[in-house]
A and B are shown apart, each in its own frame.
Chain A
Amino acid sequence: QKEVEQNSGPLSVPEGAIASLNCTYSDRVSQSFFWYRQYSGKSPELIMSIYSNGDKEDGRFTAQLNKASQYVSLLIRDSQPSDSATYLCAGSGGSNYKLTFGKGTLLTVNP
């Protein structure tokens, strides 16, 4: 198993729908998790971090972590066309400077 795996998509949802992005990880990167958003041709930007089991909400974004299943997800409610981007899941094994990224999932929100 790769250390961080994501469904590369593309994922297409209509405007206003919930977009669900998923990520699984190996034991080596099992401490902290991060979701970065990357617009085409731009640099990654942190949108959510999560460290413990359960849900963490920030505006329209909710991150969910299940350490027993080694699974982390990002839900985007009321999706907007401006949410169209690649979403990168990243994990760290204790030193948060050294992030291991997945390949990213391309999300398209259709007006």
Chain B
Amino acid sequence: GAGVSQTPSNKVTEKGKYVELRCDPISGHTALYWYRQSLGQGPEFLIYFQGTGAADDSGLPNDRFFAVRPEGSVSTLKIQRTERGDSAVYLCASSSPAGGGNTGELFFGEGSRLTVL
């Protein structure tokens, strides 16, 4: 596709449920990032993939959060036992090999808005 695609765009779930958020990066972009943005805040780093491996997962808040990118393209962010505090917009971004690490130019998707009731 032309840009970073994220699904679902909106997800409402109940406390304690499991959710998966999907990201399809720009074709050819090897780097993929997940950020989380709460209302009135800037995006907060969660995890960075270079290819299939998680190069840096230091931003994941706890072990309820996990992300995979098995074939080096699509990524899934998984949240177990959701809590009301997990409610936020989850942004995925990708960058080209020449961008990202060199220029900080991340191309963001429109985000998945998660609401935990």
Contacts and interface: CB of A to CB of B under 8 A. Distances in A.
Given A43-B91, A103-B40, A98 B105 contact: no
Interface stretch (A65-73, A74-82, A87-95): A87-95
Interface string B85-110: 00000010001000011111110111
B41 interface: yes
Chain B, interface size category, equals 20 to 34
A99 B91 CA distance: 13
Interface of A: 4, 8, 32, 34, 42-46, 49, 88, 90, 92, 95-104
Given A97-B55, A99-B106, 17 more contacts: A4-B42, A43-B91, A43-B108, A44-B91, A44-B108, A45-B108, A49-B104, A49-B105, A96-B100, A96-B104, A97-B95, A97-B100, A98-B45, A98-B59, A100-B45, A101-B43, A103-B42
